[in-house]
């Protein structure tokens, strides 16, 4: 019969050579066996000393570091290398515990900002260029600072003293059509009065005003400009 073909050991047919094969085919079979052995074990260049148990029993396969000749370390250590094939166990450096600290409140006093921090003491930052009285004066003022003190008397006084005539927040004695206190009127219908309590040189005010007292028709009263 013709010579079988195979590349690796598992392809050999144990029934060959048949008893009826010619003697001249014996060398062909021997060369085939040598070829498949070389293909199957291409890197064997020395004696294989592993026992049958080593080859057949998976428990003989290294499963721990000590099986590889590396001494075990202590609990919590990590395996490190020196870059030259040598391994050793190293303890990790101690690190700070993450306690998720965060700012949960704050307030202002004069030019000092005080932040309340969860899990930590409060922190004060001084030296703001001017007194901050409203958290909206901060860039991130939409609720990050949850409280702010009321402005002081001196702060209100200083701000009021800086108001000019006919500006938002200012008061004026104006003549307009009569009405109840609290009503809003446009500035174009209000006129500043002169010393005789009559209409001045026909100069109307600007913006929108709130009437702060009751007045009869064309009588003067106090108005607050609101816009």
- Does the pLDDT value for residue 199 go beyond 70? no
The residue whose two tokens read 């291409």 is: 42
Residues in the chain: 227
- Choose between 164 and 135: higher pLDDT: 164
- Does the pLDDT value for residue 200 go beyond 50? no
DSSP-assigned states of every residue in 63-107: -SGGGGT-----TTEEEEE-SSS-EEEEEPPP--------EEEEE
pLDDT tens digits, 56-94: 766 666 666 666 667 777 787 888 888 887 878 888 777
The residues spanned by each domain of the chain are 1-69, 103-157, 163-225
Q: Give whole-number Cα distances, 16 to 8, 9, 24, 172, in Å.
A: 15, 13, 14, 123
- Does the pLDDT value for residue 23 go beyond 70? yes
The residue whose two tokens read 């609990």 is: 75
Tell me the pairing of strands 77-81 and 171-175: unpaired
CB-based contacts of 207, cutoff 8 Å, min separation 6: 166, 168, 186, 187, 225, 226, 227
Tell me the pTM.
0.34
Distance CA 29, CA 18 (A): 11
Distance CA 178, CA 195 (A): 20
């Amino acid at each position: 019969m013709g010579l079988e073909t195979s590349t690796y050991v598992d392809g050999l047919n144990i029934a060959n050579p048949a008893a009826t094969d010619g003697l001249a085919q014996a060398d062909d079979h021997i060369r085939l066996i040598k070829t498949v052995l070389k293909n199957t074990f291409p890197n064997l260049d020395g004696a294989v000393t592993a026992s049958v148990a080593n080859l057949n029993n998976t428990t003989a396969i290294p499963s721990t570091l000590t099986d590889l000749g590396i001494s075990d370390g202590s609990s919590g250590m990590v395996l490190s290398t020196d870059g030259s094939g040598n391994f050793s166990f190293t303890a990790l450096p101690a690190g700070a515990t993450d306690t998720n600290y965060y700012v949960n409140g704050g307030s202002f006093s004069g030019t000092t900002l005080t932040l309340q921090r969860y899990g930590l003491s409060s922190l004060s930052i001084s030296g703001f260029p001017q007194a901050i009285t409203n958290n909206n004066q901060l860039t991130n003022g939409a609720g990050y600072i949850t409280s702010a003190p009321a402005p002081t008397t001196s702060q209100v006084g200083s701000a009021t003293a800086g108001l000019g005539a006919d500006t938002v927040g200012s008061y004026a004695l104006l003549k307009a059509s009569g009405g109840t206190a609290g009503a809003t009127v446009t500035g174009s219908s209000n006129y500043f009065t002169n010393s005789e309590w009559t209409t001045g040189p026909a100069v109307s005010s600007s913006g929108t005003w709130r009437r702060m007292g009751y007045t009869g028709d064309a009588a003067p009263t106090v108005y607050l400009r609101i816009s």
